[in-house]
Amino acid sequence: MALGHERYHHRHPFHLLMHRGELTCGQLQAWALNRYYYQSKIPMKDAIILSRSDDPAFRRAWRKRILDHDGGDGQSGGIEKWIRLAEATGLPAERVISGREVLPGVRYAVDAYLNLVSQRSHLEAVASSLTEMFSRDLISLRLDALREHYPWLEPGLAYFTARLTQAPEDAAFALDWVTRHAQTREQQELVIDALRTKCDILWAQLDAIYFSYVNPGWPSPGAFQP
């Protein structure tokens, strides 16, 4: 789909640097710490979407996402796996979990995602998850690149290996559901717009990180200093 090709964050210069092994350890720390804020909100985002459906079949399918991220019953979830990744960059878990040093620009973008799924139609909320259609290729490429250029990250890569199978399953369900529920031209345009907005939300997080830690700009007052 053209939109994903153009706007998905696999093309963001921060990711291009990562895949070429050109990020420093401090820049990877900044990414892991800031992106944790996004990861930590995913189950809340999915619970909002679940709460807006009056269809038990939809809700049963969607709750898998909450389990995948929150874990439990002896399974570690995506959030815990992301903490392992942050620790592999050299950050203490507590510093990451506290959220104290998250860039404001990252925080606002993530919060915009929660607003989207709360305030737009249920169709648009579901459609915003369709970026997962593009995530498998990005994660697959990223795993190879991280293993090659940053082998010391290996103990932190379980998040990505789990997503290699989770994301395509989730995307297939959401794509089927959206296709069945977006019948009119107007609904299809809402779907495209929700997906575009979600791409912006992912892209804006990396802009804030790139500007503060690569370009070089300056981290906002109080934000993480590598």
CB 42 → its own copies: shortest distance, Å?
A: 17
- Name which of 43 and 105 has its Cβ closer to its own copies: 105
CB 200 → its own copies: shortest distance, Å?
A: 4
- Name which of 112 and 143 has its Cβ closer to its own copies: 112
Q: How many CB atoms lie within 10 A of CB 133?
A: 19
Residues found near its own copies in the complex (CB under 8 A): 6-7, 13, 104-105, 107-109, 111-112, 115, 199-201, 203-204, 207-208, 210-212, 215, 217-218, 220-221
CB 52 → its own copies: shortest distance, Å?
A: 19
Whole-angstrom CA distances from 17 to 13, 28, 110, 206 are 6, 11, 23, 12
Per the CB < 8 A criterion, the answer to whether 100 and 215 are in contact is no
- Name which of 58 and 113 has its Cβ closer to its own copies: 113
CB 107 → its own copies: shortest distance, Å?
A: 8
* Preceding amide of 43 cis, omega within 30: no
CB 112 → its own copies: shortest distance, Å?
A: 4
Residue-wise burial string across 36-45, b where 16 or more C-beta atoms lie within 10 A, e elsewhere: bbbbbbbbeb
Per the CB < 8 A criterion, the answer to whether 191 and 123 are in contact is yes
- Name which of 42 and 199 has its Cβ closer to its own copies: 199
Per the CB < 8 A criterion, the answer to whether 140 and 161 are in contact is no
**Rounded to 5 degrees, what are φ and ψ at 95?**
-65, -35
- Name which of 87 and 200 has its Cβ closer to its own copies: 200
